[in-house]
Structure 1
Amino acid sequence: MLCPSKADMKIAKNQHVKYLLRHLNLLPARASSYDSTRLAVAFFCISGLDILKSLDVLDEEKKKSIIDWIYGLLVEPKISDNEQGWERCGFQGSSTFNFVCDGRQDDTCPYKSGHLAMTYTGLATLLILGDDLTRVNRKALSAGVKALQQENGSFCASLEGSENDMRFVYCAASICYMIQDWSGMDVQKTINYILGSISYDYGIGQGPDLEAHGGTTFCAVAALSLMGQLEANLSEKQINGLRRWCVLRQISGFQGRPNKPVDTCYSFWVGATLKLLGAFHLIDYQQNKDYLLLTQDPITGGFSKWVDSSPDAMHTYLGLCGLALMNEEGLEKVHAGLNMSKRALKHLHGLHKKWDQ
């Protein structure tokens, strides 16, 4: 990919819209390994279109078909007032699992279970598309989250053989926030897990005694923010240490760890963390923007992890979000905590008001 001079660089909006639509309509062969997490890919594409202020390229019929497809991935109890089986409630990542479980007349198939990351992206995508979540059994979904919390306060992704770490702490907090039900989380245990994962350098790792990382630092800080527990549980020294750790991750764009190359996605992960910590103004906006625009493909569309490498849906979305954090012209403003547009967040808060009545 030939890179234009910095003075000529602009967001290739039309190309990015086409790129995201291609991935939404047909997953490329090179991305076939992501089939089991197809719902996350759909989130990157649909939320990316939202950030580009281009969600209207999806007509109402298309939006309805996507919403119906997402609900088709929901594992929920057959009887709404019976709590049996609620521990498996949540969204799956792909309809592929339905074929694996084909022929089972009961819920004994081990793959018939929700996944925290897919539940988060599923709910977020429904909200972005304007759905009112009336087809979601929020009590059952909360029970599904609760079943995945571990004794140390962390969360597994699913019931069947999953690791547990800070990524799923964030997903659990996001789900609880979106469905306005925190009964699925022992909040104090989760807070203790997060505080125990703060490293000597004030960054935050996947868990206690693990290396600090830009992505997991975001997950921890955003989870605390969504709980309304950020300032109440971090000392001034810890907050200042976190700010310093994050600011030092900027080279041109941002790196995820010290002595690592810059990577498009960390412009969001680290940038959003600084936004939540009230220190985003300390970054060099122009250097960050220049790096991000160098990673876009102005011909085929999409953003890549590094300059002169192939784009993918995740880095395309997070690259756009990194630019949106800087209030880039032509982009929707992004909510740092939930990683979705503020337009979609307004819709969510409208639902919360209805549920409160």
Structure 2
Amino acid sequence: MMYHLLPSPYESQEINHLTLAYFVISSLDFLNSLHLLTHKEAVSDWVLSFHLHPTTIPDPNNGQFYGFHGSRTSMFPPDQTGALLHNNSHLASTYSALAILKIVGYDLSNIDSELMLSSMRNLQQSDGSFIPIHTGGEKDLRFVYCAAAICFMLNNWSGMDKEKAKDYILHCQSYDGGFGLVPGAESQDLHVTFIEMMYHLLPSPYESQEINHLTLAYFVISSLDFLNSLHLLTHKEAVSDWVLSFHLHPTTIPDPNNGQFYGFHGSRTSMFPPDQTGALLHNNSHLASTYSALAILKIVGYDLSNIDSELMLSSMRNLQQSDGSFIPIHTGGEKDLRFVYCAAAICFMLNNWSGMDKEKAKDYILHCQSYDGGFGLVPGAESQGGATYCAIASLRLMGFIEDNLLSTCASSSLIDVPLLLDWIVQRQGTDGGIQGRPNKSSDTCYAFWIGAVLKILGGYDFVDSKALHGFLLACQYKYGGFSKFPGEFPDLYHTYYAFTASSMLEESGFNSLCPELGITQVAAKGL
């Protein structure tokens, strides 16, 4: 019955006509009833009528795929010049077509397999996956299978890079042993759930971190952005209002030279009201909290021009010290590369460099490069991964070093790049993970701090991506999130930096990273 007339509910599946025919004809074969097809030649002719034949001499590198269409409605004639403006040939339809032809005994050597397969390579992506149609679409294991089956049936493997496809397949194996359609498919849903939980209610162990509430919020909201799940924030305006409530606004006409910093507080407990005269006796606005606040606002799409950046930046100069370093808060504190980075990132996001003396900051950074090539938090300190990131990202944000310094073969008189690179590449351990300094264990967060330095310099190919992926999987918790070391419980900090590392590894489902700012490219560009 299905062979002669498909019932009306299948009308919506007309676009998959060839696949439906495959189910019917292969079913007859399994039922040992293929003899009921009395006109097999007519069946093969019907299937072949869906094959895309170029009307001009084809160029296999033009991005087109010369396979089979799935139905009549997906077939469009060429234009007056013979150009195929609407080529809808599809991998799944091509698999179905070849399977039917084999079932009815058609000799597949009659098909121009060379053109079909050489053009099929246009569908394979850089990560080894396949898109189903030359204009795009989902890329996952379904279409890797279709491509492999097509090559197998045609006895010709020129249509795909098998090694790349193999690596993609292996990346799709989940922590529980099964395979998802894309790398991290099921675990990614668990990660989203883990972050959603953190968004609604931070667990009690984070109570001691209340002073860093805004920074914890940055980890949560930016995580959702990396997981392509920012749509779960249904009230982005409420998020921006909450963040803006931490912004310090002077109650009297401010003097930008009074030593105060008019940035963002990190939490409610660090906010104190002015005294009866309006004086801010306890101003605890902080550089790191200000960076976190601006990053969140960019992520949720808030227009930063609404902020009084002139006051914020002119007062931020009060935090810069005579040696070019920054203290985090106007009452003092440690002065090191972390706060130089925060200041540079704040100026960059606000597109206004009046908040710092870039030359002094540059000189301070250069004094922090150690004898071994890495950077310490302060001049003379031991090289460390986080400090090295702050140094290189700051120099890049300030425009003192070029983008992709290594790949463009550009020379720089500022830093000893070969020595830095030598120190950096030694940080990946035999377990695949990355350490922050010599003789330390691999730690999830350094997959970002060290990896992002290589990304900025244009040397990420020096990372053994497969080994690092394996280490991150070992740190992935079965209910979502990542831990610092394999076998431990997850935490928000290491989970966030595992996401950024996964983005650099181009894992499927993660938005692209802006390595200089530590947020997604979309957020960084304000799209």
Question: TM-score, normalising length from structure 1?
Answer: 0.90
Amino acid at match of 2:280: T
> 1:13 Cα shift?
1.2
Q: Residue 120 of structure 1 contacts residue 171 of structure 1 at CA under 8 Å; is this kept in 2?
A: yes
Larger of the two Rg values belongs to structure: 2
> 1:283 Cα shift?
1.0
Q: 1:201 to 1:84 in 2, by over 3 A?
A: closer
Question: 1 or 2 for the larger relative contact order (CA 8 Å, sep ≥6)?
Answer: 1
Which of these residues, 90, 106, 127, is aligned with residue 263 of structure 2?
Answer: 90
Higher alpha-carbon deviation: 205-214 or 85-94 = 85-94
Question: TM-score, normalising length from structure 2?
Answer: 0.62
Partner of 1:247: 425
Which of these residues, 310, 316, 319, is aligned with residue 489 of structure 2?
Answer: 310
> 1:19 Cα shift?
1.4
SS of the equivalent of 1:229 reads coil
Amino acid at match of 2:467: Q
Deviations 1:134-168 (A, max 9, x none): 43101011123211101111101101231110100
1:1-357 pair list within 5 angstroms: 4=176, 10=184, 12-59=187-234, 61=235, 63-78=236-251, 83=256, 87-98=260-271, 101-102=272-273, 104-105=275-276, 106-110=278-282, 112-231=283-402, 234-235=412-413, 238-251=416-429, 252-299=432-479, 301-347=480-526
Distance 2:369 2:179 in 1: 40
Q: Residue 76 of structure 1 contacts residue 137 of structure 1 at CA under 8 Å; is this kept in 2?
A: no
RMSD in angstroms over aligned alpha carbons?
Answer: 2.3
Number of matched residues?
341
Q: Residue 335 of structure 1 contacts residue 341 of structure 1 at CA under 8 Å; is this kept in 2?
A: yes
Distance 1:6 1:208 in 2: 50
Distance 2:358 2:281 in 1: 31
SS of the equivalent of 1:75 reads coil
Amino acid at match of 1:239: V
Q: Residue 274 of structure 2 contacts residue 280 of structure 2 at CA under 8 Å; is this kept in 1?
A: no
Q: Residue 156 of structure 1 contacts residue 162 of structure 1 at CA under 8 Å; is this kept in 2?
A: yes
Distance 2:493 2:279 in 1: 32
Distance 2:416 2:437 in 1: 18
Q: 1:147 to 1:233 in 2, by over 3 A?
A: farther
Structure 2, unmatched stretches of 5+, are: 1-174, 403-409
Amino acid at match of 1:24: Y
Q: Residue 261 of structure 2 contacts residue 319 of structure 2 at CA under 8 Å; is this kept in 1?
A: no
Q: Residue 86 of structure 1 contacts residue 141 of structure 1 at CA under 8 Å; is this kept in 2?
A: no
Distance 2:268 2:379 in 1: 35
Q: 1:6 to 1:164 in 2, by over 3 A?
A: farther
> 1:245 Cα shift?
1.1
Structure 1, unmatched stretches of 5+, are: 351-357
Percent identity of equivalent pairs:
38
